[in-house]
């Protein structure tokens, strides 16, 4: 059977490929794909215990059985569209993100804006590069928005994230939470940005004056 393997961020750079078509025996599992990739691209070995795996845009284990035509992705730790959430390479219009969730019944609207700073980890930053798994990133952001609405009934959450090249001062992410009262809005906004940083497949490369490196911002 044939499957498509997708690689991102530092793993993609180490392998020198973003997408590979692989031939596997019937009954193969995700672990077999990783073993095959490791044999052909030994430089990816250091990432073995730090990757998440998705099959057809769903997080799965390495023991997940594969089928002909499946798309399997190996996701390095994230740096910290559909519905109210979107991913784009163009500038984010904060007002438009707010408009996705505001309304007559929303007495509290909390907005978090994340911008590119010129210093990080003791280094002078030139610019950032964000890479994503677009289809899965938007799906995961929508999931976070739904979870926030379930945790704080009456709350709506919108998320917009940039991809590609960002200069110092550019807005990288906007999270807006709207609720009838400010308490729920603050809680939902904090939950959304913290969860996004942990699990949405968007990776950040910092290009500094003394080199460049992929960032793992997990708690």
Per-residue pLDDT tens digits for 51-85? 778 899 888 888 899 999 999 998 876 554 335 88
67 with 91, same domain: the answer is no
Q: Is the pTM of this model over 0.75?
A: no
50 with 138, same domain: the answer is no
45 with 125, same domain: the answer is no
Count how many domains the chain has.
2
131 with 199, same domain: the answer is yes
Residue 171, φ and ψ in degrees, nearest 5 = -80, 125
Say how far apart CA 166 and CA 156 lie, in whole Å. 28
Say how far apart CA 60 and CA 194 lie, in whole Å. 22
12 with 63, same domain: the answer is yes
8 with 32, same domain: the answer is yes
Residue at 80 is within a domain: no
172 with 140, same domain: the answer is yes
Average pLDDT score over residue span 14-27 = 90
* Contact in structure between 186 and 127 (CB atoms under 8 Å): no
- Range of the structural domain that residue 91 is part of: 85-215
Residue at 134 is within a domain: yes
> Which of 54, 75, 96 is at the close of a domain?
75
195 with 89, same domain: the answer is yes
pLDDT (tens digit per residue) in 127-175:
999 999 988 998 899 899 989 998 999 899 999 999 999 999 999 999 9
Residue at 148 is within a domain: yes
Q: Quick check: 114 pLDDT over 80?
A: yes
Assign residue 50 a region: left if phi > 0, alpha if psi is -120 to 50, beta otherwise? alpha
* Contact in structure between 141 and 75 (CB atoms under 8 Å): no
55 with 19, same domain: the answer is yes
- Greater confidence (135 vs 218) lies with 135
Average pLDDT score over residue span 31-49 = 87
What angle, rounded to 10 degrees, do the helices at 134-151 and 182-199 form? 150
CATH number of the domain where residue 116 is located = 3.90.1170.40
Give the rounded percent of residues in the chain with a pLDDT score beyond 90. Answer: 61
- pLDDT, position 112: 98
Of the candidates 94, 191, 210, 106, the one whose C-alpha atom is nearest the C-alpha of residue 154 is: 106
147 with 205, same domain: the answer is yes
70 with 103, same domain: the answer is no
CATH number of the domain where residue 23 is located = 3.10.20.30
122 with 70, same domain: the answer is no
């Amino acid at each position: 059977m044939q499957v498509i393997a997708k690689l991102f961020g530092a793993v993609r750079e180490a392998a020198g490929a973003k997408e590979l078509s692989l031939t596997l025996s019937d009954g193969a599992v995700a672990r077999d794909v990783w073993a095959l990739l490791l044999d052909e691209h030994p430089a990816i070995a250091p990432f073995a215990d730090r990757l998440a795996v998705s099959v057809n845009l769903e997080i799965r284990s390495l023991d997940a059985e594969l089928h002909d035509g499946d798309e399997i992705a190996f996701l390095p730790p994230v740096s910290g569209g559909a519905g109210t959430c979107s991913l784009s390479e163009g500038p984010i219009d904060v007002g438009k993100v707010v408009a996705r969730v505001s309304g007559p019944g929303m007495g509290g609207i909390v907005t978090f804006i994340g911008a590119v700073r010129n210093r990080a980890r003791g280094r002078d930053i030139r610019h950032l590069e964000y890479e994503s798994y677009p289809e899965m990133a938007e799906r995961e952001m929508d999931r976070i928005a739904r979870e926030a609405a379930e945790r704080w009934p009456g709350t709506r959450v919108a998320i917009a994230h940039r991809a590609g090249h960002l200069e110092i001062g550019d807005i990288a992410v906007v999270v807006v939470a709207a609720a009838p009262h400010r308490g729920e809005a603050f809680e939902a906004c904090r939950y959304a940005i913290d969860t996004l940083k942990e699990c949405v497949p968007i990776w950040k490369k910092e290009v500094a004056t003394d080199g460049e490196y992929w960032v793992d911002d997990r708690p």
